[in-house]
Amino acid sequence: MKLSCSPETLSQALSVVSRAVSPRTTLPILNNVLLETSAQGLKLTGTNLEIGIVENVEAQVDEEGSVTLPAKLLTEFVSQLHDAPVEMELDASTQTLNVRCGPYRDVKIKGIDAAEFPALPAREEGVKVVIDEAQLLPAIEQTVVAASSDEGRPVLTGVMTMLEGNELTLAATDGHRLAVKKLKVASVEGQKAEGDGSEAVIIPARALMELSRVLKGEGKVEMGISPNRNQVYFSLPRVEVMSRLIEGTYPNYSQVIPEQSNTKLTIATKELLERARAVSIFARDSANVIRIKTDAGEIRISANTSEVGSSEATVTAEIDGADIQIAFNSRYLLDVLSLVGSDKVTMGFNGPLSPGLIQPAGSDDYKYVIMPVRVAM
């Protein structure tokens, strides 16, 4: 293997694929990234056996070959290289990569034979969906935030993804909050015609988070689901992210979304976010609890910790319905306000112990349900 390429381009690609590399594994090969050359250039692959990321890099290839190298070491080293082209040549007998770039003339990196690298699953033709990046990126950010990190309930660590016609729904919950986002897809191929015509899979939230890091909000991304419903693929011009799907039955989340609200507030998102963020500083030592109370055309946000002190702020609001006093985990509230993507939000309540519904004002494509905290008012 012998090639040269831009260190900047290589560094960017390594930072992407190395995110799929497992930092904690008993298999040394999984600490490595696979480098493969062809007439088309250099292909980099990283995987932890659950998620795989592949990126293609433009390169001048003089001799084809392949090797795996320590992902962390290679990524950190290449990020320090100069603007001059980086030249790499593999000594196949020792699996050592010789690197030259600018003042770095005799760098040797020990690798492992590419034959030991686990093969990524071959892509199978199943359902294929084309989605605008400008829609998919915010949809991922607005939903993965509500996914659970508790591996004891694997299905909740994923995002329920349902395709019905040309509408894609993403839903995630950790039991304390629920985020549901609907978006239109550009095209669909291979969707089943029998039954209700819907397709539903559970995609690991981590896979979607890694995908969001390579999306730029421009162009389109192709999502493919394998026929046996065990793999999902996301393809961009130079990058492919693939992941195993989570097996299991996702909870019927629609049951917890309030159909109507006795109290409805409409508030400027930026003002509410600023006030809630400042007040929440005083809630850090009291389980992050902040209180919301309506009062004559405004809402009062407060937090009180006996050891630290208290804070209160007001925000002008349009109030429709009965007055309300309710408490939330401030982190859950700040998350949605940071991601809702609209100038105003509506908040709907049915009492201090019932779930609250937050969504963009005048829109039903994003719903965020948050469970209240039982506290003495």
Residue 285's pLDDT band (cuts 50, 70, 90): confident
Residue 196 has a pLDDT of 52
Cβ contacts of 97 within 8 Å, gap of 6 or more:
1, 35, 67, 69, 88, 89, 90, 91, 108, 109, 111
At residue 192, does pLDDT exceed 70?
no
Closest CA to 5 of 50, 60, 69, 70: 60
- Rounded mean pLDDT, 230-235: 95
Cβ contacts of 218 within 8 Å, gap of 6 or more:
133, 134
pLDDT mean across residues, the chain: 93
State in Å, rounded, how far the first CA of the chain is from the last one. Answer: 70
CA–CA separation, 199 vs 183, rounded Å?
A: 15
Burial label, 159 (beta-carbon count in 10 A; 0-12, 13-18, 19+): buried
Q: Ramachandran region of residue 59, left (φ > 0), alpha (ψ -120 to 50) or beta?
A: beta
User: Given the structure tokens 């609890």, which residue do they identify?
Assistant: 289
- Strand arrangement, sheet containing 32-38: 66-70, 32-38, 41-47, 51-57, 239-244, 231-235, 220-225, 127-132, 187-189
CA–CA separation, 148 vs 140, rounded Å?
A: 14
Superfamily (CATH) of domain 2-116: DNA Polymerase III, subunit A, domain 2 (3.10.150.10)
Closest CA to 114 of 211, 38, 214, 212: 38
CA–CA separation, 334 vs 125, rounded Å?
A: 40
Note whether 21 and 32 are within 8 A (CB): yes
Say yes or no: do domains 2-116 and 127-254 share a fold.
yes
Q: Of all residues in the chain, what percent are helix, strand and coil, respectively (each to 5)?
A: 20, 45, 35
At residue 375, does pLDDT exceed 80?
no
Rg of the chain (C-alpha set): 25
CA–CA separation, 82 vs 6, rounded Å?
A: 9
Burial label, 367 (beta-carbon count in 10 A; 0-12, 13-18, 19+): buried
Each residue's pLDDT tens digit, 34-45: 999 998 899 999
Q: Domain ranges in the chain?
A: 2-116, 127-254, 258-370
Task: Tell me the three state secondary structure of residue 330.
Answer: helix
Each residue's pLDDT tens digit, 240-273: 999 999 999 999 999 999 999 999 999 999 999 9
Give how far Cα 87 sits from Cα of 42, 74, 99, 104, 246, Å.
12, 14, 6, 10, 41
- Strand arrangement, sheet containing 86-91: 60-63, 2-5, 86-91, 96-101, 104-110
Record: fold of 258-370: DNA Polymerase III; Chain A, domain 2 (3.10.150)
Each residue's pLDDT tens digit, 53-104: 999 999 999 999 999 999 999 999 999 998 899 999 999 999 999 999 999 9
What CATH class does 127-254 carry? alpha beta
User: Given the structure tokens 């320590």, which residue do they identify?
Assistant: 70
CA–CA separation, 8 vs 79, rounded Å?
A: 7
